[in-house]
Amino acid sequence: MPDRTDYGPVLGSGFIHLASVIALGLGIFLAIQWWKNPLMRQTGLIVLAISAIPLAINIFRFTRLRRALGTADLQFDDSVPLGFSGTAIYVRPLRGVELRKIEARLQCEEEVVRGGRKQKKTIQKIVYDEPLTPAVTPAMERLEVRIPVKIPVIGPSTMWCEEAKITWWIRLKLRMSGCPNTASSFQIHVLPAVVER
């Protein structure tokens, strides 16, 4: 089955979340070190409480957004051939937020591993990228988007190369009022054409 992963709300850059986890780790480390000294115990607890605030804010925002946006789903065939034309349906709960803009793209990503055991290098690049034209269907507390999808008749030249891993994606970016922008990425399984010999 293809990986239909919904990345959900984008709460700023990953650096913000990493920094909040590092701050909490540092707070725990200092609290443990200062706990040994009875005079520093209260200070250690204060430092621990302060260091936990950024992570607590991130968790609160994420929980609130998950309630508002839920988890998205993409209704699409499990496997499609090259040259396929059809419609994907993107569905997501929307509670208390308003959609302003939606962008959709069909992308083909190539991943090749080069080198030997000790010097392996993974190379990834987008070999096909096409904007799609989504049509939004109004609904109460729910977003439904119809996305016409046309898989090209000829895939990338590496589609038949055993060393290359080829992955097709339908990727969406949503701009909304009332919450941060949101991204979803859904893997679709595209069958290579049969090469006649």
Domain segments of the chain: what residues?
Answer: 14-69, 73-191
Question: Out of 44-58, 75-89, 175-189, which region has the weakest mean confidence (pLDDT)?
Answer: 175-189
What would the mean pLDDT of 15-32 be, rounded to a whole number? 85
**Residue 38: burial class (beta carbons within 10 Å; 0-12, 13-18, 19+):** exposed
Q: State pLDDT tens for residues 50-66.
A: 999 988 888 887 777 77
- Give percent above pLDDT 90 in the chain: 16
Q: Supply the pTM of this predicted model.
A: 0.67
pLDDT at 41 over 80: yes
Q: Residue 7, CB half-sphere, CA atoms under 13 Å: how many?
A: 17
Q: What is the pLDDT of residue 5?
A: 65
pLDDT of residue 7: 60
Mean pLDDT of the chain: 81
Name the CATH topology of 73-191.
Immunoglobulin-like (2.60.40)
Q: What pLDDT, on the 0 to 100 scale, is given for residue 150?
A: 93
